[in-house]
Amino acid sequence: MTHACRPAREDGLLRLKTFVPRAGSAYAKSRNFDLGSDDRSNVSVLSPYLRHRLIGEDEVVRAVLSAHRISAADKFIQEVCWRTYWKGWLEQRPSVWSDFLAELERDQDALREVPDMATAHAAAIAGETGIEAFDAWAKELITTGYVHNHARMWFASIWMFTLKLPWTLGANFFYRNLLDGDPASNTLSWRWVAGLHTQGKHYVARAENIRTYTEGRFDPAGQLNEAPDPLDGSEAPPATRLKTPMSVPPGEPIVLLVNEDDLTPERWPIDAAQVKGVALLPTDTSHPGLAEHVLAFRTAAIADTAARAERFFGCPVMSLATAEPDGAIALCRAQGVEKLVTAQVPVGPSRETYDAFVEKLGGSGIAAMEVRRDWDSAFWPYARAGFFKVKERIPETLERLGLM
């Protein structure tokens, strides 16, 4: 089975429909096996769609619960909620993202100054370390944009503890190449493997575990550092308060501003009748070095969204060539609208781009506002400490959201 992802909502929905029968106990039993890139039947490969909200977490959970009891699908639903947990956690600690970027820059400088590190890094990202499993995953990442969850854990662990490379460089390699590359899930998962998220608790890749869960495809016996110390790092800052979600005043005409973090404006918590125009930001290239396949996926996903928005809202839809606000301002003026509405922009490159965009609206008479999805509003307040606080609230929260 191929897992090539086509960047369209329809394909995400089809993939979901096909996966639903396997989301129950079959998933719980088999999800940890990395069966190789030709067989991803034990996992959903929905992450590129969820990452860009071409499909929503609520849609996924609703579909799964229409076919399984929550007791059978709890593992799968928990995994979906890991994404929500990471997003909510970073939203409440935005400095963890800016600290990551600053540390990444220092580590990139070190690469230029320390030849041995540069050689080891070049071998790692080319898949030429001599550790067969690691090399295969590096190549899978750069050719397909997808790596199985367990392999991501092994890969990150080997990167830090066996190859002794800085975690930020590994996180950046993933972020630039994954179709689901996400500032929260990726950065925080790397920190988790390092022992920086739960201080002192790191994830150690072991040859025997790799042999078992790759069904013997790989066996790096004797090649891994299986007794490393966790990385040292400062404690994460305390959680900040989440902003109170806003809602669009009833009856006020609005123009939607869509960015690649939430590509289903037809499902935003707004009244479609108020929408007089839709402006779509282009793919955000502010993070340097995004792979061609990532840019192509995002660009096509945005084009798919423009086509859907046109059909759904039946109003003018404009694809902006740059993140400058002139086009959106012109659209608002042409439609007699003074408010631009966007779905909450998460911490990461989009946030930085959006904040700059809003600043440049100053003096135009156009105001910007963000609306938050019910899913995020329901779960994020629990994402302040460990995952457990989210996990224990899953059934009651799904009930509150009307999903079970």
Ligand X SMILES: Cc1cc2nc3c(=O)[nH]c(=O)nc-3n(C[C@H](O)[C@H](O)[C@H](O)COP(=O)(O)OP(=O)(O)OC[C@H]3O[C@@H](n4cnc5c(N)ncnc54)[C@H](O)[C@@H]3O)c2cc1C
Binding site for ligand X (CB under 6 A): 31, 43-47, 50-51, 79-80, 82-83, 86, 148-149, 152-153, 156, 174, 178, 180-182, 185-186, 189-190, 193
Distance of closest approach, residue 371 Cβ to ligand X, in angstroms: 22
Distance of closest approach, residue 113 Cβ to ligand X, in angstroms: 26
Cα separation, 40 vs 22, whole angstroms? 12
Strands (E), 261-381: 275-280, 317-319, 339-343, 367-371
Nearer to ligand X, 72 or 318 (CB): 72
Nearer to ligand X, 86 or 375 (CB): 86
Nearer to ligand X, 144 or 186 (CB): 186
List the strands of the sheet with 367-371, edge to edge: 317-319, 275-280, 254-258, 339-343, 367-371
Residue 144 near residue 177 (C-beta atoms within 8 A):
no
Distance of closest approach, residue 72 Cβ to ligand X, in angstroms: 15
* Owner of token pair 């390092």: 194
Distance of closest approach, residue 12 Cβ to ligand X, in angstroms: 10
Distance of closest approach, residue 255 Cβ to ligand X, in angstroms: 30
Nearer to ligand X, 88 or 181 (CB): 181
Collect all residues with Cβ–Cβ distance below 8 Å to 77 and sequence separation of at least 6.
Answer: 61, 64, 65, 70, 394, 398
- SS3 of the chain: helix, strand, coil, percent, to 5: 55, 5, 40
Nearer to ligand X, 148 or 372 (CB): 148
Cα separation, 65 vs 38, whole angstroms? 28
Distance of closest approach, residue 187 Cβ to ligand X, in angstroms: 8
Cα separation, 333 vs 24, whole angstroms? 50
Distance of closest approach, residue 307 Cβ to ligand X, in angstroms: 24
Nearer to ligand X, 80 or 394 (CB): 80
CA distances in angstroms from 219 to 44, 186, 211, 248, 253, listed in the order given: 26, 26, 5, 56, 61
Distance of closest approach, residue 90 Cβ to ligand X, in angstroms: 12
* Owner of token pair 């790191």: 202
Nearer to ligand X, 182 or 352 (CB): 182
Reading the block at residue 120, the tokens are: 């080891």
Nearer to ligand X, 215 or 310 (CB): 215
Distance of closest approach, residue 79 Cβ to ligand X, in angstroms: 4
* Owner of token pair 């550790």: 131
Nearer to ligand X, 60 or 255 (CB): 60
Cα separation, 62 vs 398, whole angstroms? 9
On the 0-12 / 13-18 / 19+ scale of CB atoms within 10 A, 275 is buried
